[in-house]
Structures are given as structure tokens and as C-alpha cells.
Amino acid sequence: MTVLPVLDSAGRRRSPATMPGYHAGQSPRNKGMRYPADPPTVEEIVAVMRQVGTDRHGARLCAVIVVLWRGGLRIQEALALTERDLDPHRGSILVRHGKGGRRREVGMDEWGFEQLRPWLIEREQLPVGPLLCVIDGPTRGRPWSAAGVRVEFRSLAARAGVRRRFAPHQLRHAHALELVREGVPLNIIQRQLGHANLGTTSIYLQGIDTEEIIAAVHARRAPMMPASAGLRL
């Protein structure tokens, strides 16, 4: 029996790789790969944000960077947000379906909400749907894909001259490290990130530089004892 080729809407032969089930049973190429905790610095993130442009595509890119960086969300959590999940007055974001289906509220600072405002204005002109949605074409208003975000991030980082991996999860790592440096207790960081245990949270803190650890411990005050006891050993 002759199998007729499958054609796309333009009448061209479709590649087998585009057909459903083509990759079934195959492991992803990056399966088992682990990337080191190497979050971007504040200067690098701001440099990337300066590359987004001033149109609505730029406003959307700025919005997703802010939600990941200043709210510490996972990329899928960010892409599932709706406008009603934001509460600027309380400074909170509602994550309805976190990892494992867990629901939680997280905090975000006023500066972060200010950076979201241009996109919120643009979002009102698009069909009802997720907060971070497709802007153009027949699927406008539909969910934006994580793969699409990653492609945009790589391009922005290259234009900004950031010579390290710049991915959505790296911004979440940056969020956790900044909270530690600001003195936020570890159990609050755990709740903010939506981790089931502190062991997972501690992995996010591996990006602390060795020199930073040495400087912090070296700067400790001398041991304090009652004057009557003396410090002679």
C-alpha cells in the first residue's frame, strides 16, 4: 500500500520530526545533565533588561524577567499566572498550581510591580487568558511557551554581552541568593520558593562565592565573655 506524504498548509512535505509521536520513547538530549548554580548578578540582569526594547514584546519580556527574578517563581508558575493573581497593594502573587500541585502566595517588591505595569496596560488590549501570553497571530492571548521564553533569553543575553548561562531558573537562583544576602531567614526563603524541605533550598545557595564566605567569617567579632573571666587561654 502506498503511503502518501503529509503536507502542511502551504502544500510542502512535512518532516517526520514534526509528526505526533515521533519522539515517543526517546530520552531528551539533556536528560541527566545538571547545571551548576551560577546565577547572574544584578548588573547582568539589568543589562539584559535594557535590551528588551520599548514595544509590547519588550514589555512582556521585562514582565517575565521581573516575575522570575523578583518573585522567585518557576517558569511554568509564571506562565500560568493570570492578571487576578497579582495583588500590588499587598505586594503578593498567588501561585495556584506550584510544583506537586501545591498552592502558595509569594511576595514581590514595589519595584517589581512597577516594572510589570507597562505590560499590564498592553495586556488589556489582548484576549482574555494567561498574564504572559502570545501577542501576535491567530493564537494571540493563548499561553506563551517556556521554550519561547528561553530562546528570547539567550538572544537578549548575547546582545547584552552576558557570558554565562541566562535561563529562567537562573533568575530564581538569583532571587534566593539575594534574599540570603539581605538577611532573610532560610525558612522564609523556603516558603517563598515553594520547597518541601530546607535541603532543596540549600542547593539554591551554592552560588555564594568562596570569597564571600571567607570575608563574612573573617569579619566576625572576637568571642565575647564576661570581663571577670578574661580571654587568656
- Catalytic residue, chosen from 60, 70, 74, 123, is 74
| Amino acid, res. 159 | R
- Catalytic residue, chosen from 60, 123, 173, 204, is 204
Identify whether 35 is a catalytic site residue. no
Whether 230 and 135 have beta carbons less than 8 Å apart is answered as no
- Catalytic residue, chosen from 99, 104, 165, 191, is 99
Identify whether 31 is a catalytic site residue. no
Whether 131 and 82 have beta carbons less than 8 Å apart is answered as yes
Strands, E assignment, the chain:
86-87, 92-95, 104-107
| Amino acid, res. 26 | Q
Identify whether 74 is a catalytic site residue. yes
C-alpha 83/C-alpha 74 separation (Å) is 17
Identify whether 97 is a catalytic site residue. no
Helix (H) / strand (E) element for 93: namely strand 92-95
Whether 176 and 201 have beta carbons less than 8 Å apart is answered as yes
- Catalytic residue, chosen from 60, 123, 172, 173, is 172
- Catalytic residue, chosen from 56, 57, 165, 169, is 169
Alpha-carbon distances, residue 53 vs 9, 46, 84, 158 (angstroms) = 33, 13, 26, 15
- Catalytic residue, chosen from 60, 70, 123, 195, is 195
Would you name the residues annotated as active-site residues?
Answer: 74, 99, 169, 172, 195, 204
